[in-house]
Amino acid sequence: MPKDYYKILGVPRDASQEEIKRAYRRLALKYHPDRNRGNKEAEEKFKEINEAYAVLSDPEKRRQYDLFGSAEFEKRYTQEDIFRGFNFENLFRDLGIEFDLGRFFHFGGGGRSRGFTIDLSRLFSHLFDTAREEFHEPGGVSEDMILDLPLTLEEARKGTEKVLMVAPLGRPEKVKVKIPPGVKEGQKLRLVAKGPLGPDGRRKDLFLRIRIQPHPRFEVEGSDLITTQKVPFTTLLLGGETEIETPEGKKIRVKIPPGTPPGTRLRLRGLGLPDRNGHTGDLYVKVEPAIPKRLTRKQRELLEALRETGL
């Protein structure tokens, strides 16, 4: 049955992103696993509002949903498509839920989502069945030492090795850390017995929290990368091509369909970031019109003529 995502979140169709986010947070806290443990109805509602937010918080998915309607949108987007690039870990952490999502993702043969699936039913059931025991257990990460580790996008994408100087016991100590390819913003790497002394006299763990530094050309959304490309507005109207540079430095041509609205994201599959499960995200090219600061006399005459036609 088609779903009205605006109705699910209780917002009007012209709601701003801030209004959508506020509505999502209010409902997510209302149906939070900690408050509704074992409640199947709350579990379904929590799943539903996360799906609605995954669509309406993504400008391109929201545009497609508004353009084609809920029934046609469901034909075009599988659940894997809807949640692709949706950062569950950051979102749940913001709601006070922190755990490893890896066990809920599966990777198999091809298909429109390149073999990537997320077991949403098991994920949400797990949240509601084990909320308090697993996510707020005493003696967890909060008692260990957490240090921020800045990485460039290239280091996060390819992996690297760092030699750090830390002083959890009051004296400098050299620690060598191997960073695997595809680490994410906010992800924690555990260094066993490299932290401060615990009450029992044994050393606790040291956690390094990944902080990916801003990149001049790419933004990071989960495993996806977004780059903004300026193109002539005539190319958006009539169609054409533009050249972009991938994270590897390779230049490729991207086709722009006629009538492409400004802000549209064009997907280049498999050119994003890898993750620890072998999945690679996508690269999205966000096209924006390049507005010239000055016009030649001929250009101005042509534009004036076009304006008279109603364009």
Instruction: List beta partners, residue 289.
Output: 231
> Domain 218-290 falls in which CATH fold?
HSP40/DNAj peptide-binding domain (2.60.260)
Q: Is the pLDDT of residue 53 over 60?
A: yes
Q: What confidence tier does 143 reach under pLDDT thresholds 50, 70, 90?
A: low
Q: What confidence tier does 140 reach under pLDDT thresholds 50, 70, 90?
A: very low
Per-residue pLDDT reduced to its tens digit, 17-46 = 999 988 988 888 788 765 666 777 887 888
Identify the pLDDT of residue 68.
Answer: 76
Per-residue pLDDT reduced to its tens digit, 100-110 = 444 333 333 33
Q: In the chain, list all ranges with CATH 2.60.260.20.
A: 118-125+143-212, 218-290
Q: In the chain, list all ranges with CATH 1.10.287.110.
A: 5-104
Identify the pLDDT of residue 30.
Answer: 84
pTM score: 0.52
Per-residue pLDDT reduced to its tens digit, 73-100 = 888 787 777 877 666 555 555 554 544 4
The CATH superfamily holding the domain 5-104 is: DnaJ domain (1.10.287.110)
What's the average model confidence in pLDDT over 120-124?
50
What's the average model confidence in pLDDT over 9-21?
92
Q: Is the pLDDT of residue 259 over 90?
A: yes
Q: Is the pLDDT of residue 117 over 50?
A: no
Return the CATH class of domain 118-125+143-212. Answer: mainly beta
Identify the pLDDT of residue 131.
Answer: 40
Mean pLDDT of the chain: 80
